[in-house]
Copies of this chain bind each other. A is one copy, B any other.
Amino acid sequence: VNIITLTTDFGNGDIYVGVMKGVILSINPNATIVDITHDISPHNIKEGAFLLNDFYRYFPKGSIHLVVVDPGVGSERKGILIESDGYFFVGPDNGIFTYPIKKGLKKIIELSNKSYYLNEISSTFHGRDIFAPVAAHLSLGIEPDKFGNEIKEYKILNFDPEISENGINGEIIHIDKFGNLITDIKKEFMVNKDFEILIKDIKIDNISESYFEGKEKEILAIFGSSGWLELSVNMGNAADIIDAKVGDRVLVRWKK
């Protein structure tokens, strides 16, 4: 497999992503490069981690997922290569790979071998100088161990909402183009059948099966296609209707 996916907060309006593609193709002209998104909110590691978790397993085993949301570029944070859950991940050691690491970690390599870097290393663009060339060499079949030494300490973050005997204290992680509000509340957290979901001054006490069930402008709760609780409006924009934004609280309260 020589698939390399790209996920960044670089936007589509700049050349940063194009430059990374050039670096990759210069090393492996046969790499299949796949854009996931470049519109992660700037420096938002939590959003990036969530989105990564939602897409990576849909690719063939052995695919390389290159993720650059890297507020610490130029500081002492490490660059890493992860082998986990049947995939490779390349990027900064800042918690963005928390989900795949938890899923079945094989090993994490610190990217210390400079022979796989570009010749000149900037302090501002390791996506180009380190991560892209490492991913490209990896796609050529070079063994992970060649890129540096295995490390046992690395950053993982806890993104789960607080769950108590009263309910779940969640939040909006991401808002999609349709205005659907994606929360950090997983189906498996909804252990109690009787509940009410509270967002702003709205209460919802059942889960819909499809957007189609909703009346005009009615906020529905639904488990989205990746298993997260979403708040949506049939044919409408939930974010606009209730003026919601990333970070707003979403509470689930168990009813006795």
A222: chain B residues at CB < 8 Å are 124
Q: How many copies does the complex hold?
A: 3
Q: Any chain B CB within 8 A of the CB of A225?
A: yes
Chain B residue with minimal CB distance to A58? B22
Q: Type the 1/0 row for A206-239, where 1 means its CB is closer than 8 Å to any CB of B.
A: 0001111000000000101100000000010100
**Min CB distance, A225 to chain B, in Å?**
4
Chain B residue with minimal CB distance to A39? B13
Q: Is the CB of A3 within 8 A of B29?
A: yes
A16: chain B residues at CB < 8 Å are 176, 225
Q: Is the CB of A74 within 8 A of B13?
A: no
Given contacts A32-B29, A210-B124, contact A15 B74 (CB under 8 A): no
A115: chain B residues at CB < 8 Å are none
Q: Is the CB of A18 within 8 A of B5?
A: yes
Chain B residue with minimal CB distance to A23? B58
A3: chain B residues at CB < 8 Å are 25, 29
Q: Any chain B CB within 8 A of the CB of A11?
A: yes
Q: How far is the CA of A29 from the CA of B210 in the complex (A)?
A: 32
Q: Any chain B CB within 8 A of the CB of A9?
A: yes
